[in-house]
Amino acid sequence: MVDSPASHGASSATPEPGAANSPDVDAPRVALSGGRTRPSLDDRGFLGHPSGLGTLFNAELWERFSYYGMRAILAYYLYTAVSEGGLGIDQPTALSIVATYGASVYLLSVVGAWLADRVIGAFRATLYGAVIIMLGHVFLALPIAAMSWVGIATVALGTGLQKASISAVVGQLYDREDGRRDAGFSIFYMSVNIGSFCAPFVVTFLKDRWGFHAGFSAAAVGMAFGLIGLFVFRKHLHGAGTNPTSPLTAAERGTVMRRVGLGVVGVAAVAAICFALSGTTANGVINTVTVMSVIAAVGMFAMMFKSPKVSAAERRHLQAYVPLWIGAALFWMIFEQAASKMAAFAAERTDLGSIFGIKVNAEFFQSVNPLFVVALAPVFAAMWLRRAGKFPSTGAKFAFGVLMAGLSFVLLAFYSHLWPHGPTAPMWALASVFVVQTIGELCLSPVGISATTKLAPAAFTTQAMALWYLTSAVGQSAAAQAIRLMEGLSDTTFFLTLGLITAGFSLVLMALVPWIGRHMRDVEAVKTA
């Protein structure tokens, strides 16, 4: 495929004033993708990939350090007694709040993606999001209960602004026919896991000695490092993400403002109904985020399918994307419970001992997944590069990833049945569940991000990335609802039910692999040199 602005989502419309003035390019040429001025195939400055990948790798590493560092202790902070430094919330509600918090992060990515695509560009969205995230962690570090809720909301807002945008910038580093794309996303994904591996150890160390808020302070420092690196090394991006891919025109602004106003009213109405029917503030928040996640996902699909800016070929791509999206939502429903149900299993059902004389804390289990991702990601990246354009296809990778997620909870249900009472389950049991999930993650997550950048309609590049992250919002919302609805049932029943549902859908997805392949054949054509 010939490289062109359309193939990368770069709009042919005149950019907003100042949009083309990249801070790192003296005389910009015709933009290739979101403002990028250098073809990708001749750029091998970072591990054989575009040099800008290193800049984004560093930024994402520290952002994930801060996010996962906070998340490692968040559930425990919520349900630990006030006398012991926590907020004293009942455990089922606390675990549902953690899942809902994760969902809200990705729900807000819709707003961030729209701003990136239409107003400020993906790079500025990433930069501004990093600033807001750092402020949120600073609020969490303050030993004031009310500021904790402010901090959680602020981190969710900043992460929503940044999350889809930084991945969109990664996608814009590559020409569409560049066969290194899947491998590049796998390398990028290592940054997530290096940060998330280190964070629980650092944060737990601080928490155990000086309390929860000291642990949250480490997240603030980590985000500051990420922000500094992103600003200092932005020149390596060669302008990628500088321009909005579909900038607002003067004629559109009035209509858009009216729609934004109607959207705010609609959100307020949904929230009012959910709170009125929920009984408690916590349940109101949980139900509101659930409903809005589903509405946002359905609305974004409908908008893209109906948009006159989307070609017939792009609609075929979207059709193929629908079953992949559903499979990803089910995957995250299970995977993201590492910070909720699996965290509780680690703290209450697992016999914590020591490894090489080092005492194992429940928080440490959240480092198992990133440890194995760091170890295995290069293997998967090399395998995807070698198999580019061959089996397994994108659909097959997805189906296997979803299957692994389902089987992980079936396995956890078995362990829960074997050790039904107290802290009796051996550490290797829970660790093995994380390893199975990791294998599934490497088949689905980096491939899913890459597939989204390939299948995205040109006018909706960053918004399509937000649609991808809505898989996590919907999945985590489903997990929050399942935790509440199945509160009176055993852990064995809980894990087995969700595991079988997810594994069952993986079989449906496998059956659809040939159909998916036909619909995305044109975007899976590759060049590697």
State the DSSP string of 457-523.
Answer: -GGGHHHHHHHHHHHHHHHHHHHHHHHHHTTTS-HHHHHHHHHHHHHHHHHHHHHTHHHHHHHTGGG
Q: What was the pLDDT predicted at 439? A: 93
Q: What was the pLDDT predicted at 525? A: 56
pTM: 0.79
Residue 391 — pLDDT band, cuts 50, 70, 90? low
Distance CA 245, CA 235 (A): 20
Q: What was the pLDDT predicted at 40? A: 66
Contact 183, 48 (CB under 8 A): no
Residue range 261-273: mean pLDDT, rounded: 88
Contact 512, 402 (CB under 8 A): no
Greater confidence (469 vs 14) lies with: 469
Q: State how far the alpha carbon of 301 is from the alpha carbons of 132, 318, 394, 415, 478, in Å.
A: 28, 8, 20, 39, 19
- For the packed helices 121-141 and 461-485, what is the interaxial angle rounded to 10 degrees? 30
Whether residue 19 lies inside any domain: the answer is no
SS3 247: coil
Whether residue 370 lies inside any domain: the answer is yes
How large a percentage of the chain has pLDDT more than 90? 29
For residue 468, the enclosing domain spans 47-523
Distance CA 156, CA 451 (A): 25
Whether residue 162 lies inside any domain: the answer is yes
- In the block, residue with structure tokens 């087995």: 496
Burial class (CB in 10 A: 0-12, 13-18, 19+), 83: exposed
Whether the predicted pLDDT of 228 surpasses 70 = yes
Give tens-digit pLDDT for 6-17.
233 333 333 333
Q: How many CB atoms lie within 10 A of CB 383?
A: 16
Whether residue 88 lies inside any domain: the answer is yes
Q: What was the pLDDT predicted at 206? A: 92
Q: How many CB atoms lie within 10 A of CB 490?
A: 13
Whether residue 140 lies inside any domain: the answer is yes
Residue 464 — pLDDT band, cuts 50, 70, 90? confident
Both tokens assigned to 23 = 């801070």
Per-residue burial over 260-297, b = 16 or more CB atoms within 10 Å of its CB, e = otherwise: eeeeeeeeeeebeebbeeeeeebbbbbbbbbbbbbebb
Whether the predicted pLDDT of 161 surpasses 90 = no
The one-letter code for the residue type at 139 is F
Distance CA 27, CA 148 (A): 46
Contact 160, 105 (CB under 8 A): yes
Question: Domain tally for the chain?
Answer: 1
Whether residue 32 lies inside any domain: the answer is no
Contact 34, 122 (CB under 8 A): yes
- In the block, residue with structure tokens 């006030």: 82
Give tens-digit pLDDT for 96-112.
988 988 888 888 877 88
CATH code at position 249: 1.20.1250.20
Whether residue 1 lies inside any domain: the answer is no
Average confidence score pLDDT of the chain = 84
CA atoms within 13 A on the CB side of 129: 33
Residue range 188-196: mean pLDDT, rounded: 83
The one-letter code for the residue type at 117 is D
Cis peptide before 392 (omega within 30 of 0): yes
Distance CA 379, CA 187 (A): 10
Whether residue 507 lies inside any domain: the answer is yes
